[in-house]
Amino acid sequence: MLATCMLLFLWAAVVLARIGAPPARIAVRFLDMITVAVPPALPACLTIATVFSIGRLRKRGVFVTGPHTITVAGQLDVICFDKTGTLTEQGLELQGIVPGLELQGVAPVGDAGGSCAY
C-alpha cells in the first residue's frame, strides 16, 4: 500500500512540476495522498499483524485468550505465577511485589521472598 502511494506521489509530483506548481503545493498534495491512503489500510494491517502474532504464539505453545492481551504482554518485563489457589478460586489477585535483584541475568528468587512488599 505504501509503495503504491509513493509511486502515485512521484507521478503526481512530476506532473505538478511540469505544469509549474510551487514546491509547497506539491508537498500539500503529498500530505493529501498520505491522509487518504493510510487511515483505511491501518486497521486492516493491525488486524493482520495480530492474527499472525496469535499464530506464532500458538506454534510456541502460548494460548492467547484475546487479541488485546498481545499488546499488554508486550509491555511487561517479568510475570510470576503461583498456582496456589488458582484451581479453586476464579481470577488472579496480586499478593505482592518482589524487587528485582538480578545478578548476571539470574534473579535470586530464594532470597527475595523475605523482602516482599505488599
Domain boundaries, the chain: 1-76, 77-118
Say whether pLDDT at 111 is over 90: no
pTM for this structure? 0.40
- Options 32, 77, 82, 111, the catalytic residue: 82
Give the 3-state DSSP-derived string for 57-117, with helices as H, strands as E and coil as C: HHHCCCCCCCCHHHHHHCCCCCCCCCCCCCCCCCCCCCCCECCCCCECCECCHHHHHHHCE
39-55 pLDDT, tens digit per residue, is 777 888 888 889 998 99
32 catalytic per annotation: no
As a whole number of Å, the CA-based R_g of the chain is 26
